[in-house]
Amino acid sequence: MAEIIHELSRTFSEYLLVPNRTTHTCIPANVELATPLVRYSKAEGNSPITLSTPLVSAIMQSVSGDRMAVALAREGGLSFVYGSQPVDQQCDMVGKVKKFKAGFVPSDSSLGPDDKLSDIVCLKKKTGHSTVPITEDGTATGRLVGIVTSRDYRVSRLDPQTPVRDFMTPLEEIVYGREGISLSEANDIIWDHKLNQLPILDEQGRLVSLVFRKDYDAHKDNPGEMLDARKRLMVGAGINTHDYKERVPALLDAGCDVLCIDSSDGFSDWQKDTIEFVRREYGPDLPLGAGNVVDGDGFRFLAQAGASFIKVGIGGGSICITREQKGIGRGQASALMAVAKARDRWEEETGVYIPLCSDGGIVHDYHMVLALAMGADFLMLGRYFARFDESPTRRVLFNGTYVKEYWGEGSNRARNWQRYDDGGGGQMLFEEGVDSYVPYAGKLADNVPTTLAKIKATMCACGALNLDELSQKARLVVVSPTSIVEGGAHDVLHKESDMGN
C-alpha cells in the first residue's frame, strides 16, 4: 500500500510566534533584512548575491513585467519577468529594466531637428521620457545638435507642425561631458551647473549616453536598491523546461541577472536536464533557481542537480487549484519546515548553503515572518504584488471598488502549458489556476515599507535583529480553531457593518 506520512499538512495560519525577550537594542531601526539569494559556502564568505529585502515577485503574467521589476529592485527585492511569452518579448522587458537605471544611459528617445512638435508629443506618450536628444540624423548615436525638455515648449502655444529646431535648446547652450568621464565627475557637473541631465559626447560630438540627476536622487532615496556591477537595476527571469536552449542565451544577452525554472513540480527529470544544460554551457556560478518541491527528497534532487536556490510550495497560491485538481501538494508551513531540515542536513554534509524561497500560502503580512522563521531565506509573492500599480494588469471598477485583475499561470487565460506539462505533448487538458480580482492597493513604494515595518516589529518581539537570528530564536506554537477566532476582533459590534454607519 501507499506510504502514509502521518504528520499533518499545516498552513501558516495554524501557527503563532511566541515572543522572546526584547532588549533595549532590539528596535526596528536596528533590524537587518538582508538575505542570501544563491548558494554559497559560509566558511568562504557571503552569497554572491544578497537581497536587501527578502521579497521577490512571482513568475506570472499578471504580476511580473518590467514596471514591477523596476519598482521592486528599487526597494531592495527582485522581480522574475514571466516566461510564458515569446523569447524576444521577455528579453525586451529585461532590457527595459537594465536601461532604466544606469550611471550612463544610452538614448532611446532621439529625434532630428526637422521633426515636428507632434513627434515630440508622440514620443513622450510612448516612452514617458521628457528629455529628447536632438541629433543630426535623428539616431541615438548621431552628432548632438540640441536637446528638448518639457521646459522648451507648451503644446497649447505652439503649432504641432513646428520644427524641433525652432524650440530646442541648441548645443552651444548645453553643458556636456566627454566620453571617458567618471560617473562621480558627471554627477559633480550636474550639481555644479544645476542640471537635470548631462549628455556625454565623443570627440566627434556624437551622443554616447546621458547621465540623469534623478538617478542620483533615486539611489539616495533607495540605498538598498539591487544594482549590478554597472550600477543598473537587477532583474530575474523565468524559464521553462522546453525552450531553455533558446531562451537562456537570449536572456543572458539581454542582461538578465538571475534565472529561475518556473514549474509547478520541480521533482522531475525535465528540470534536472535543464539545470545540467545551464551548468554545462555556463558553469556552476550562473544564478539559477529551481523548484517547486515540498519535501527533503525533492530538495536533495535539485541540490544535486546544481540549483542555486530552491523554491518550496505546491498548491498554496491564492489562485492555484493544483491540490483540488490533482490531489498533489502539502500545506505550505509543513512543506517549508521539511525542506528547511533537508537544507540544513545538506549544509552539514557539503558545507554549501542553498537558500530557500517560500512560494505560496502568504495571506497576511505576519505569515511572511512565520515563513522566514520556519527556514525560508526569501519569499515569492503573487497576490501581494498583483495589487499594485506596477503589475501588468488593468485596474477596473468592480462592485463599486477598484480591483486589479489576477490570474494563475495554470488558468486557461494564461495558457502556460509549459509550466504544467509532464511530457504529454504541449497542451493543457485542464486548469490548475483561476482567473480573479484582487483589491487595488496603489503604488508598490507606498505599501512595501509598511509590510517591512511589520516584519521588523515582529522580529523585535522575537528578540531577533536579522533573519539568521530569527530562524534560530523563533518559537512557534500550533493554534486551535478557537484561538484563531480569538486572535481577531470578536464579541464587539463593528461600527461600519453592525451599527450601519
**With bands split at pLDDT 50, 70 and 90, how would you rate the model's confidence at 417?**
low
Helix or strand or coil: residue 252?
helix
pLDDT at 192 over 80: yes
Pairing of strands 378-381, 356-359: parallel
State the chain's mean pLDDT as an integer. 90
Residue 499 has pLDDT above 50, yes or no: no
* % of residues, the chain, pLDDT over 70: 92
Rounded Cα distance between 493 and 501, Å, is: 12
| Local structure of 78: helix, strand or coil | strand
SS (H, E, C) 159-206: CCCCEHHHCCEEHHHCCCEECCCCHHHHHHHHHHCCCCEEEEECCCCE
Question: Per DSSP, what are the bridge partners of residue 227?
Answer: 233
Closest residue by Cα to residue 328 from 336, 340, 316, 318: 316
Distance CA 459, CA 474 (A): 9
Residue 146 has pLDDT above 50, yes or no: yes
Among 264, 232, 237, smallest CA distance to 251 is for: 237
Q: Is a pLDDT exceeding 70 seen at residue 406?
A: yes
Q: Which of 239, 234, 262 is nearest to 249 (CA)?
A: 239
What's the pLDDT at 487?
Answer: 77
pLDDT at residue 440 tops 70? yes
Determine the Cα–Cα distance for residues 113 and 133; give it in Å rounded to an integer. 10
Question: What whole-number distance in Å separates Cα of residue 448 and Cα of residue 78?
Answer: 13
Closest CA to 275 of 287, 232, 324: 287
Q: Which residue has the higher pLDDT, 147 or 102?
A: 147
Instruction: Please confirm whether the linkage preceding 292 is cis (ω < 30° from 0).
Output: yes
pLDDT digits (tens, 9 = 90+) for 98-117: 987 667 888 878 999 999 99
For the whole model, what pTM was predicted?
0.81
The answer to whether 225 and 100 are in contact (CB under 8 A) is no
Confidence of residue 157 (pLDDT cuts 50, 70, 90): confident
Three-state DSSP string of 336-383:
HHHHHHHHHHHHHHHCCECCEEEECCCCCHHHHHHHHHCCCCEEEECH
Q: Is the pLDDT of residue 501 over 50?
A: no
Residue 411 has pLDDT above 80, yes or no: no
CA–CA separation, 71 and 66 (whole Å): 9
* Closest C-alpha to 109, from 99, 124, 97: 124
User: What's the rounded Cα separation, in Å, for the pair 106 and 209?
Assistant: 4
- The answer to whether the Cα torsion of 416, 420, 422, 427 is positive or negative is negative
Other CB atoms within 10 Å distance of the CB of residue 440: 18
* Cα–Cα separations (whole angstroms), residue 442 to 12, 263, 447: 26, 30, 8
Q: What are phi and psi of 435, to 5 degrees?
A: -105, 125
- 304-314 tens-digit pLDDT: 999 999 999 99
419 band by pLDDT with thresholds 50, 70 and 90: low
Question: Does residue 422 have a pLDDT over 70?
Answer: no
Three-state secondary-structure class, residue 135:
strand
What is the spatial distance between Cα 224 and Cα 51, in angstroms, rounded to a whole number?
Answer: 9
For residues 137-162, average pLDDT: 92
Angstrom distance (rounded) from CA 356 to CA 380: 10
Lowest mean pLDDT among 94-103, 410-419, 438-447, 475-484: 410-419
The answer to whether 316 and 303 are in contact (CB under 8 A) is no
464 or 437, which is more confident: 464
Q: Nearest-5° angle of CA 289, CA 290, CA 293?
A: 135
Distance CA 175, CA 269 (A): 59
Which pLDDT tens digit goes with each residue over 127-144?
Answer: 778 899 999 999 999 999
Mapped onto helix, strand or coil, the DSSP state of residue 117 is helix
**Catalytic amino acids?**
320, 419
- The pLDDT tens digits for 341-368 are 999 999 999 999 999 999 999 999 999 9
Q: pLDDT at residue 420 above 60? A: no
Q: How confident is the model at residue 500, as a pLDDT? A: 42
- Segment of 182-196, 225-239, 366-380, 410-424 carrying the highest mean pLDDT: 366-380
The highest-confidence range among 272-286, 411-425, 430-444, by mean pLDDT, is: 272-286
| Residue 423 confidence class, pLDDT cut points 50, 70, 90 | low
pLDDT, average across residues 388-392 = 94
Q: What is the dihedral of CA 129, 132, 133, 134, to 10 degrees?
A: 150
Residue 90, pLDDT above cutoff 90: yes
Q: If pLDDT is split at 50, 70 and 90, which confidence band does 430 have?
A: low
For the chain, the residue count is 501
- Across 100-104, 221-225, 268-272, least confident range: 100-104
Distance of alpha carbon 37 from alpha carbon 404, whole angstroms: 29
* Residues ≥6 apart with Cβ < 8 Å to 349: none
pLDDT, position 431: 60
Identify the pLDDT of residue 135.
96
Copy the grid coordinates of residue 7.
Answer: 504528520
Q: Across residues 390-394, what is the average pLDDT?
A: 92
The larger pLDDT score, comparing residue 325 to residue 286, is at: 286
pLDDT one-digit tens code per residue, 454-463:
999 999 999 9
Q: Grid cell 503563532 — which residue?
A: 16
Q: Which residue is associated with the grid cell 495571506?
A: 363
Q: Averaged over 376-381, what is the pLDDT?
A: 98
How large is the average pLDDT for residues 232-247?
95
pLDDT digits over 10-49, tens only? Answer: 999 999 999 999 999 999 999 999 999 999 998 888 999 9
Q: Which three cell numbers stand for residue 37?
A: 539569494
CA 428 – CA 424 distance, rounded (Å): 9
For residue 438, what is the enclosing H or E element?
strand 435-439
Per-residue pLDDT at 415:
59
Tell whether the model's pLDDT for residue 227 goes beyond 90. yes
